[in-house]
């Protein structure tokens, strides 16, 4: 946690911090399609198998859907891409509108940035849709964004934090990173970020108590 530091930028994780998520809903949805192994490969913070490849941009959405069908006994020929997309999006519950308001208010005093392990299926559908709740687009809430599938890197790999520093043009010593995973926070701290844990069921606005603004 940042103490007595002047922070210019806030770097947000998405799932579990801004957006409410529930891994079990996704596992159940994929299992209902007949997919085997979803529970072992789909983690709350770290993925494996085709889920990791999709998240790191090493597999296209089309190939991911084909891989899901391959893991369905009998080949899953009757399972459409749209059904796979819907099952994957079941991971996402939504964004309470008050958090969108808080992001806009914080942006008056801070640079607001996003650093998310996510995939293009979720990002361009359910995630984008949730950010439109106020009639705005995702770009209206952030000064810059880094995703795992675009950078081909994923937290807690420290390389994604180094990529974010360069890509977003931010200084880690002036930036507070908020995440619900302590392992991700530890990796961020190694490259110089101030950090704040947002525990499950809590609000990011509470984690910001005591952070000193710089708008001088």
The string of pLDDT tens digits covering residues 131-154 is: 999 999 999 999 999 999 999 999
pLDDT at 210: 62
Predicted local confidence at residue 213, as pLDDT: 55
Question: Exposed, middle or buried by CB within 10 Å (0-12, 13-18, 19+), for 192?
Answer: middle
Q: What is the pLDDT of residues 54-70, one digit of tens each?
A: 999 999 999 999 999 99
- 158-162, Cβ contacts within 8 angstroms, sequence gap of 24 or more: 158/187, 158/190, 158/191, 160/115, 161/115, 161/187, 161/188, 161/190, 161/191, 161/193, 162/191
CATH 3.40.50.300 describes domain 6-20+95-213: no
Per-residue confidence at 175, pLDDT binned at 50, 70, 90?
A: very high
Work out the mean pLDDT of the chain and round it to a whole number.
Answer: 93
191 has pLDDT over 80: yes
Is the alpha carbon torsion for 89, 93, 97, 101 positive or negative?
Answer: negative
What average pLDDT does this structure show over 169-185? 97
At 212, is the pLDDT very low, low, confident or very high (cuts 50, 70, 90)? low
- Split at pLDDT 50, 70, 90, the class of 1 is very low
The pLDDT assigned to 216 comes to 44
Buried b (16+ CB within 10 A) or exposed e, 35-47: beebeebbeebbb
Question: What pTM does this model have?
Answer: 0.92
* CATH (one of 3.40.50.720, 3.30.420.40, 1.10.150.240, 1.10.8.60) for 23-89: 1.10.150.240
- Give strand pairing partners of 177: 11, 195
What confidence tier does 215 reach under pLDDT thresholds 50, 70, 90? very low
Q: What pLDDT is stored for residue 42 in this prediction? A: 86
| Predicted pLDDT of residue 2 | 47
Annotated domain spans of the chain? 6-20+95-213, 23-89
């Amino acid at each position: 946690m940042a103490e007595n530091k002047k922070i210019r930028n806030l770097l947000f994780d998405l799932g579990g911090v801004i957006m409410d998520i529930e891994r079990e809903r996704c596992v159940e949805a994929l299992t209902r399609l007949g997919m085997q192994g979803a529970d072992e490969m789909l983690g709350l913070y770290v993925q494996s198998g085709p889920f990791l490849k999709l998240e790191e941009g090493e597999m296209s959405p089309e190939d991911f859907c084909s891989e899901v069908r391959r893991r369905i006994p009998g080949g899953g020929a009757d399972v459409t891409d749209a059904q796979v997309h819907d099952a994957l999006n079941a991971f996402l519950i939504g964004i309470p509108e008050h958090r969108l308001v808080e992001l806009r208010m914080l942006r008056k005093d801070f640079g607001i940035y996003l650093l998310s392990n996510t995939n293009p299926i979720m990002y361009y559908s359910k995630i984008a849709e949730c950010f439109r709740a106020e009639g705005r687009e995702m770009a209206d809430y952030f000064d810059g964004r880094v995703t795992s599938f675009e950078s081909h890197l994923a937290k807690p790999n420290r390389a994604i934090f180094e990529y974010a520093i360069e890509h977003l043009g931010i200084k880690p010593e002036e930036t507070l990173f908020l995440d619900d995973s302590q392992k991700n926070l530890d990796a961020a701290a190694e490259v110089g970020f101030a950090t704040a844990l947002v525990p499950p069921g809590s609000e990011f606005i509470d984690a910001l108590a005591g952070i000193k603004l710089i708008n001088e």
